[in-house]
Amino acid sequence: MTFSPALEARFEKLLNSYPPGRQRSAVVPMLLYAQDEIGCVTQELVEEVARRCGVTPLQVDEVIGYYSMLHRKPLGKYHVQVCTNIACQALGAEDLYEHASRTLCVGNREVTPDGLISLEEVECMGACSWAPAIQINYDFHHHVTPERFDRLMQALRDGVYEKERDTKFSNAVQPTEPA
């Protein structure tokens, strides 16, 4: 399987960061990084990660079955997750999810016809104090109302989300790259 030079370098760094015999610890990050590049976890990817980490494809499949952030079918360019666990639910997340589904005309784990946005109802994002919360790819958004959701979706459609994320949507929390 062929990956970009940047992903190959990332894989090499990951595999070299674990002690000898512990490369299996790289399975989850390798799957996540590859999923970001190729769009989903394919059987070919499972076999490649298994080979590089010294585990069986079945062991990689078991990991995929456990972690909900790993997907076997392609997601939209922007994957929108709406938390509907108890804290978010108490503050309107069910209505927010229904609004999202109606607005995007898709159900859970479905992709808009243009492939731009996928929607997923998730259990907990660990953002209970800032409920209701959504995640767009790796960015968290807190205290999301239906109106705010609509503004976020319009920014995605207009192609201005990345530019406006840090100013207009100021509570977007972005992950940092580990050293």
Q: How confident is the model at residue 95 (pLDDT cuts 50, 70, 90)?
A: very high
pLDDT tens figures, 123-151: 999 999 999 999 999 999 999 999 999 99
Residues 82 and 139 in one domain: yes
57: preceding bond cis by omega (within 30 degrees)? no
Q: How far apart, in whole angstroms, are the C-alpha atoms of residue 31 and residue 78?
A: 18
- Residue 65 exposed, middle or buried by CB count within 10 Å (0-12, 13-18, 19+): exposed
CATH of the domain at 12: 1.10.10.1590
Q: Render pLDDT for 34-67 as a digit per residue (tens, 0 to 9).
A: 999 999 999 999 999 999 999 999 999 999 999 9
Q: What is the pLDDT of residue 171?
A: 60
On average, the pLDDT of the chain sits at 92
Asked if residue 87 and residue 62 are part of one domain, the reply reads no
- CATH code of the domain in which 83 resides: 3.40.30.10
- Whether 58 and 125 share a structural domain: no
Is 50 within the bounds of a domain?
Answer: yes
Statement to judge: residues 82 and 160 lie in one domain: yes
pLDDT band at 164 (very low <50, low <70, confident <90, very high): confident
Residue 95 lies in a domain: yes
| Position 167 pLDDT exceeds 90 | no
User: In this structure, are 26 and 98 located in the same domain?
Assistant: no
Question: Which range marks the domain in which residue 101 is found?
Answer: 78-164
> To 10 degrees, what angle do helices 5-16 and 43-53 make?
40
Q: What is the total count of domains within the chain? A: 2
Whether residue 155 sits in one domain with residue 110: yes
Residue 73 lies in a domain: no
Using DSSP, state whether 121 is helix, strand or coil: strand
Question: For position 134, what pLDDT does the model report?
Answer: 97
The β-bridge partners of 136 are 80, 139
Inside any domain, residue 179: no
The answer to whether residue 176 is domain-embedded is no
Sign of CA dihedral 79, 85, 88, 93: positive
- Whether 174 has a pLDDT exceeding 70, the answer reads no
Other Cβ atoms less than 10 A from the Cβ of 146: the count is 15
Q: Given this model, what pLDDT does residue 166 score?
A: 66
Q: Residue 161, class by beta-carbon neighbours within 10 Å (0-12 exposed, 13-18 middle, 19+ buried)?
A: buried
User: Is the same domain home to 135 and 58?
Assistant: no
Q: What is the pLDDT, as a whole number, of residue 179?
A: 46
**Domain limit, last residue, from 66, 89, 106:** 66
User: Residue 177: inside a domain, yes or no?
Assistant: no
Contact 82, 120 (CB under 8 A): yes
Integer angstrom CA distances of residue 51 from 59, 105, 134: 11, 40, 35
Residues 130 and 93 in one domain: yes
CA distance 122 to 69: 10
Tokens describing residue 49: 């990660």
